[in-house]
Amino acid sequence: MTGTPKRHIRFIRLRTVMNKTGLSRSTIYNKLKQDSKYFDPTFPNQIKLGGGAVAWIEHEIDDWMEDQIEISRS
């Protein structure tokens, strides 16, 4: 194990992703579909929790949002 500090990992569900990003459910899923014209390869993929439930890793969503801010301001 290295001396690198671990990030706190928190799973967030779709409703929270929608609230954090301001994106609709359909927009989020379109960003994940490779055959969609709205596909965004930089948008974080969800993970399976089991029983059909999925979640996203909060810091990955936060990082994506920060990247969008940088892109829009450059």
Q: Which domains does the chain show, CATH number per domain? A: 11-73 (1.10.238)
Per-residue confidence (pLDDT) for residue 61, from 0 to 100? 99
Task: Report DSSP letters for 5-65, one per residue.
Answer: PPPPP-EE-HHHHHHHH---HHHHHHHH-TTSTT--TTSPPPEEEETTEEEEEHHHHHHHH
Per-residue confidence (pLDDT) for residue 68, from 0 to 100? 98
Per-residue confidence (pLDDT) for residue 4, from 0 to 100? 67
- The DSSP code for 4 is P
* pLDDT 10s digits, 7-61: 789 999 999 999 999 999 999 999 999 999 999 999 999 999 999 999 999 999 9
